[in-house]
Structure 1
Amino acid sequence: MSGREAECLLWVSRGKSSADIGQIVGLSPRTVDSYIEKACAKLGVRTRIEAVAVGVRTGIIDPEDG
């Protein structure tokens, strides 16, 4: 998983929308959605919530870090 994909998932885990994430990291909401979709595919899940759950469980992201 790319750093940008993991970063977007981290912000999703903190309750941010794609528009919010885009403003935070300087991307369009559509680009954020694309990164999240790629992360979902790599994790073998269909939704962003499932991706966050797998990401936390596998240690890819830590919503409480930083």
Structure 2
Amino acid sequence: MTTLDWKRSSFCGGGGNNCVEVAVNDEDDDIAIRNSTRPEQVIKTSRTAFTAFITQLRTSPPS
């Protein structure tokens, strides 16, 4: 089993424990996403889907 290197969002601020965390799983080239308050619940997605998601967030106007 691979140990993931989790990275926290830069918006996490002040070392709080309610943060989005993301890790790359090199074994299957997937992206893992979790909330630091519930680290046992992990969502996995492909790099392609995650990249499309981030691109959409960056290009969409705020509502």
Q: Aligning the two structures, in what range does the TM-score lie when normalised by the shorter sequence? A: 0.3 to 0.5
The structure with more helix, counted as a fraction of residues: 1
**The structure with more radius of gyration:** 2
Q: With structure 1 as the length reference, what TM-score do the two structures score?
A: 0.32
The structure with more strand, counted as a fraction of residues: 2
- Structure with the larger RCO, 1 or 2 (CA within 8 Å, 6+ apart): 1
Q: With structure 2 as the length reference, what TM-score do the two structures score?
A: 0.33
